[in-house]
């Protein structure tokens, strides 16, 4: 079995996930790229990276979650890192309670909470076998503050933060579990919410200490830090340019 670390990164055909895949590959980590629908983009990214493979699968489907882990282990003989980046949201004003019906809640939680849980439970035996497994959950500042693209989304990320802490307490010492809570990051998520994007960008560039919105690369650097931070577990690392302190 190779000594090179292996990372499975869900939702990694574009945006934050793709940036994490590129950063980890640059560090010499073998990467498994995943997407639910963007198969062409996922395969192209895997072809761009050294010794990477692509697997199509939906984290909300438990059979797909198990198959994605199996793909990583079959390709490399091990799994050391799981990055739960796949996410879902609906842009619904926080005061529009009727629009956030039960179907919206279910669709968001299926990916952001249940999907992460299914990936983790599928991966744990192999992460434990590696001896120094690392799970990084991509959360959001919406999980720590009263804001976000919708109430179901914000609550799902708060759930993911607490899941991170609970699992860190249960899976140590062989597996560390941390999360990243990004602020406003320039990704394709906002392509269909231009008004939300522009108003948020204006506020952040005028008021946040670092005076800019984030990039996927900013989150990727945080993810690499956490997979290498051998004495850090149960942490939710905020990556928002200081937005949370103003």
Q: In terms of Cα–Cα distance, which of 44, 38, 118, 126 is closest to 80?
A: 126
Which residues are paired to 81 by β-bridges?
Answer: 7, 134
Distance CA 32, CA 176 (A): 20
The length of the chain in residues reads: 246
Catalytic entry in 153, 190, 225, 231: 153
The DSSP symbol for 59 reads T
SS3 33: strand
The label of the residue with tokens 């959360």 reads 139
Please indicate whether residue 190 is annotated as part of the active site: no
Distance CA 156, CA 86 (A): 13
| CB distance 119 to 69 below 8 Å | yes
| CB distance 116 to 63 below 8 Å | no
**175-182 and 236-239 as β-strands: parallel, antiparallel, unpaired?**
parallel
Residues 6+ apart with CB under 8 A from 9: 17, 20, 21, 24, 31, 32, 33, 34, 83, 85
Cα 187 from chain centroid (whole Å): 13
Distance CA 220, CA 104 (A): 29
Residues recognised as catalytic = 153
């Amino acid at each position: 079995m190779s000594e090179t670390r292996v990372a499975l990164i869900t939702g990694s055909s574009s945006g934050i996930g793709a940036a994490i895949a590129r950063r980890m590959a640059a560090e010499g980590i073998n990467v498994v790229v995943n997407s639910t629908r963007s198969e062409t983009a996922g395969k192209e990214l895997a072809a761009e990276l050294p010794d990477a493979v692509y697997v199509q699968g939906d984290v909300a489907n438990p059979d797909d979650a198990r198959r994605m882990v199996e793909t990583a282990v079959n390709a490399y003989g091990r799994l050391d890192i799981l990055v739960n980046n796949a996410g879902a949201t609906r842009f619904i004003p926080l005061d529009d309670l009727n629009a956030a019906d039960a179907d919206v809640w279910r669709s968001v939680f299926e990916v952001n909470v249940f999907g992460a849980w299914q990936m983790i439970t599928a991966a744990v035996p192999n992460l434990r076998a590696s001896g120094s497994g690392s799970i990084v959950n991509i959360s959001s500042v919406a999980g720590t503050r009263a804001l976000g693209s919708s109430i179901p989304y914000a609550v799902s990320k708060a759930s993911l933060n607490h899941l991170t802490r609970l699992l860190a307490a249960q899976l140590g010492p062989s597996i560390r579990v941390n999360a990243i809570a990004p602020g406003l990051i320039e990704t394709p998520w906002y392509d269909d919410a231009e008004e939300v994007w522009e108003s948020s960008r204006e506020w952040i560039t005028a008021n946040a200490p670092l005076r800019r919105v984030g990039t996927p690369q900013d989150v990727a650097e945080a993810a690499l830090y956490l997979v290498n931070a051998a004495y850090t577990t149960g942490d939710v690392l905020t990556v928002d340019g200081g937005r949370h302190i103003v």
